[in-house]
Amino acid sequence: MIVTDERVARFVGERCGVVVAPPFTAMGIEREGQITAGVLFNYYTVHDIAVTVAGERFNREFLVAVGKYVFVQIGCLRMSMMTEQPKVIDLAIRLGAKVEGVKRDYFGKGRDATMLGILREDWGY
């Protein structure tokens, strides 16, 4: 089930080791009462929105919802992601993302963030 409450922000913040401060929009997957995956959307600039990603087992329904939110509902040309999770990086690349860089120690000492960008026309869903 897709959820959009504060539990998603807490989940993503805990997994990434960051403090999440508004404004943001959260979207996550709840299974058996637990958040198992989530994204936080913030730093909206009309053409781009930053997406912080954490979790596992992202399903098609969720990925379609993310794309609709970013590219249809708020009309961005691209989304920018940061994650340290190899599985999330692999999934993002399969969805059309390109690796755009690395932010060293972004998630804490020795925890680098891979920066990825997905253009509307490259989105795989």
Share of the chain above pLDDT 90, in %: 78
- The per-residue pLDDT of the chain, averaged, comes to 93
pLDDT at residue 85, as a whole number: 87
* Other CB atoms within 10 A of residue 42 CB: 16
Cα 97 from Cα 78, distance rounded (Å): 10
**DSSP line for the chain:** -EE-SHHHHHHHHHHHT----SS-EEEEEEETTEEEEEEEEE---SSEEEEEEEES---HHHHHHHHIIIIIIS--SEEEEEE--HHHHHHHHHTT-EEEEEETTTTSTT--EEEEEEEGGG---
Q: Average pLDDT, stretch 41-50?
A: 95
* pLDDT band with cut points at 50, 70 and 90 for residue 96: very high
Q: What is the pTM of this model?
A: 0.87
* pLDDT band with cut points at 50, 70 and 90 for residue 56: confident
Share of the chain above pLDDT 70, in %: 100
Q: Average pLDDT, stretch 33-46?
A: 95
Task: Characterize the bridge pairing of strands 48-55 and 78-83.
Answer: parallel
CATH of domain 2-122: 3.40.630.30
* pLDDT band with cut points at 50, 70 and 90 for residue 11: very high
Cα 125 from Cα 110, distance rounded (Å): 33
